[in-house]
Amino acid sequence: MPKKILIITPACHFKNAGAAQRDIYASIAIFQKMNYKVALYTIGSRAQDLLVLKSVASDYGIDLRTFLPLKNNWRRFKRVLLEPSLLDGAAYVFDQLCRDNVFLKYLRSYHPDFIFSFCSYSWPVLKCARQNGIKSVFRSHNFESSFFWESLNLNQKLNPLNWLRVLCKYRGEYLAIKNADKVGALPFEQVNIYKKWKASGVEILTLLFLPESLRQPNIHSNKECLDLFYLGASYNVIFHRRGAERLIGEIAPRVLARSPGKFKFHICGSKLPTDLAQRCRNGLIYEGYVPDLESFMQNMDAGVFPVMTGKTMKGKVFETLARAFPMVIPSNCLGGYDLRDGKEVLLADTAESFTEKILRLADVKVRTELSNNACNFAQKEFSEEKIVSVLSKLLSE
């Protein structure tokens, strides 16, 4: 009889899946390969694509259920009096889930051996699991209080309400660590805080979809004009938008002025603001959402990611590395990995240094060395065998 895992997720499941959503679906596939029975419970929202949810349930052959939270300010006020960190609305919807009779009945009937819960604001679920004698694993994509703070502009950082939100998210992070039996985190710098809060059971777990992205180098040695790409799942995400602004407004114009006809920049991803899209001309091409990424990448030569904010592991950067592309990235995009400047990647932290490093890509020898080294690194660090080994530790009793 296979053991059972209940995966619990926030309200994602959109048509254009980002790294976090792809990580969720990859976890289902890997758990099934490890011979676990899997079910999924997700927070519902109006933004969700119901066809995506139906497809996930059908494709993976799993039971998938949705909880729709209700808005009741008075009830929430009473809950906040008992636990102030529920001022964080993202956490409050999980608190509602854990007090929902339908969910609690399902928990008793499905009786999972493990709950695998995504994001620290799902800490009420981890607390519920502990109260019901169910082992739990907290899957952390980032340190939420830091992630939230870095997403704010200067005026927003001066708002005392946002200071309060940061404190609530920080406490939520603590509650997630304290209530979970094990933690599988991306390799961001605050993992050291996790290890102070929890003496054992904290493991580094990379993005679970990276094994399916692993490719061999594909160098176009005879191209006169190189095709460079910038991937952003959606430019509603502030980090992606800031990167696009920097590339379109500062970096690409410098490169094109210094080396005309030698580079083209392809901006990929949905919902780029109109003012930025209108500036994509003369060597800058806005591709929008790319439905067939595999075919598109066959013609590309290198990735460029001037995302200067956010210190967590960025899915688009590491998918590019897994595909063995040369790329230019800032030092905050290293994601905790020992990637060396001039070996696996080219590092640049200013518009000027980005320009210089991009111009180096014109040398096919540079591109070949970067591509080969990226491939060797990715094959070692992002193999399915390594991921299964870490998950086995997290699911050990």
Contact between residue 158 and residue 307 where contact means Cβ atoms under 8 Å apart: no
> Per residue in 275-313, pLDDT tens?
999 999 999 999 999 989 999 999 999 999 999 877 677
Percent over 90 (pLDDT), the chain: 82
Q: State the average pLDDT for the chain.
A: 94
What mean pLDDT comes out for the span 17-34? Answer: 94
Checking if the pLDDT of 105 tops 80, the result is yes
Of 49, 99, 39, nearest in space to 69 by CA: 99
> Per residue in 223-248, pLDDT tens?
999 999 999 878 888 888 999 999 99
Tokens of 238: 């502030």
Q: What is residue 18's predicted lDDT score, i.e. its pLDDT?
A: 82
Q: Where in the chain is the domain with CATH 3.40.50.2000?
A: 4-211+383-394, 215-381
CB neighbour class for 150 (10 Å; exposed up to 12, middle 13-18, buried from 19) = middle
Q: Which CATH number fits domain 215-381: 2.60.40.10, 3.30.450.20, 3.40.50.2000, 3.50.50.60?
A: 3.40.50.2000
CA distance 43 to 11: 5
Checking if the pLDDT of 397 tops 80, the result is no
> Per residue in 116-167, pLDDT tens?
999 999 999 999 999 999 999 999 999 999 989 988 889 999 999 999 999 9
Of 259, 115, 87, nearest in space to 180 by CA: 115
> Per residue in 248-265, pLDDT tens?
999 999 999 999 999 999
Classify domain 4-211+383-394 at the CATH topology level.
Answer: Rossmann fold (3.40.50)
Residues in the chain: 397
Could you give the 3-state DSSP secondary structure of residue 173? helix
Q: What is residue 63's predicted lDDT score, i.e. its pLDDT?
A: 97
